[in-house]
Amino acid sequence: MSDKVNLSTYKIVLLVVLMAVSFVHAQKEPQYTQYMYNIGSFNPAYVGTVESPEIIGLYRAQWVDIEGAPTTIRGGANIPFNNEKMGLGINVVNDELGPTTQTYFDVAYSYEIQLSDETKLSFGLNAGGSSLNIDYSKGTFENPSDVSILGGNYNNFYPTVGAGLFMYHEEDWYLGASVPNFLTNTLYNDEVATIVEDNMQLNLIGGYVFQLSDRTKFKPAFLVNYLQGSPVNINLSANFQFIDALTIGAAYRFDNAVSGLAGFQISNAMFIGYAYDYNTNGLGEYGGGSHEAILKFYIGRGGFGSGNNKSKNKKSKNKGKQIDSPRFF
């Protein structure tokens, strides 16, 4: 009886892995629930729009009860220059899924122009590379003599070049669009063509901050991923921020998952966030949901580079003293 159960489990795992690989293969970025705090990961135009230099660490574990399910670790930095026009970003992502491991690295540059007193438009470029490793010794296959897995391991490196736009009001709203990689025709060769397609992805993101009271904000947001030949991936979220510190919200990924989000601004220099996804598709019967944690460090209150240091932080008075009120995106 246990052998039958194990065999069924392996078939489920293999099916999930193949489904997920077919979805992830052409994406520059893995899937995130806290995308509103992680925009620099998939839009290079964002990196110079932040209020101060920041360092981001993110960990995501999907479908935790399923062996071989995806795990993602991301490290990054967004560094605005003191001239308030340019910015530099660094992004490193390690994404594991069953027998596959992908490691991404890129550097982003952004330049922004003033459209009005409080509205700016930023242009961004990113360049880097990605390494793909497939270890066919991991997992159990129904047909181990399949010629596609006889090689044991597959390794490849390919370059990435992307671009993005990000327009925002300094306090209220933002809209962005990005293509993480234009070089899709260099991704893979025929060895893995059966599980990998070669399409370009477009990301659209937006959000608005409603000031409900002096210490309460409401921020709805969306992220749309369009990949040719695949269903459109639509993410909606709604967060409330209280006393410029505590954030609570919910999110919905169409035909995929519902999520709960929470975050806390520990200090002017540190933010921590957590999200839990419950799958609404067939995987909900097998997986224990997905966990995602993000940690952000804000370095100082100024920029980086030459020029005068002009803080973008919005100020509010408290008993005669000025304190920082971090922008909510």
Domains of the chain with CATH codes: 2-325 (2.40.160.40)
Residue of 254 and 16 predicted with greater confidence: 254
Hey, what are 4's tokens?
């039958």
Residue of 47 and 230 predicted with greater confidence: 47
Q: Global pTM?
A: 0.80
Q: 35 and 46 in contact (C-beta within 8 Å)?
A: no
For residue 135, the model assigns a pLDDT of 78
E strand segments, the chain: 54-61, 71-80, 86-97, 100-114, 119-135, 153-169, 173-179, 201-208, 210-213, 216-227, 233-242, 246-253, 257-267, 270-279, 290-298, 314-318, 321-325
Q: Using CA atoms, how far apart are residues 231 and 250, in angstroms rounded to an integer?
A: 23
Instruction: Please state which of the ranges 44-58, 64-78, 186-200, 228-242 shows the lowest mean pLDDT.
Output: 186-200
| pLDDT > 60? residue 278 | yes
Point out which residues pair with 5 in neighbouring strands.
none
For residue 81, the model assigns a pLDDT of 95
As a whole number of Å, the CA-based R_g of the chain is 21
Residues 6+ apart with CB under 8 A from 38: 32, 56, 58, 74, 294
Residue 186's pLDDT band (boundaries 50, 70, 90)? low
Hey, what are 244's tokens?
């410029």
| pLDDT > 70? residue 2 | no
pLDDT tens, residue by residue, 205-260:
999 999 999 899 999 999 999 987 788 899 999 999 999 899 999 999 998 899 99
Q: Which of 5-19, 40-54, 146-160, 182-196 has the highest mean pLDDT?
A: 40-54
Residues 6+ apart with CB under 8 A from 291: 60, 61, 64, 274, 275, 276
pLDDT tens, residue by residue, 282-320:
666 666 789 999 999 999 854 454 433 344 444 333 333
Residue of 10 and 161 predicted with greater confidence: 161
For residue 285, the model assigns a pLDDT of 66
| pLDDT > 70? residue 138 | no
For residue 288, the model assigns a pLDDT of 74
Residues 6+ apart with CB under 8 A from 138: 68, 98, 99
Q: Which residue in the block uniquely carries the two structure tokens 């919005």?
A: 314
Closest Cα to residue 327, out of 78, 116, 86, 28? 78
pLDDT tens, residue by residue, 82-135:
988 999 999 999 998 888 888 999 999 999 999 999 899 999 999 999 888 887
Mean pLDDT of the chain: 79
For residue 43, the model assigns a pLDDT of 96
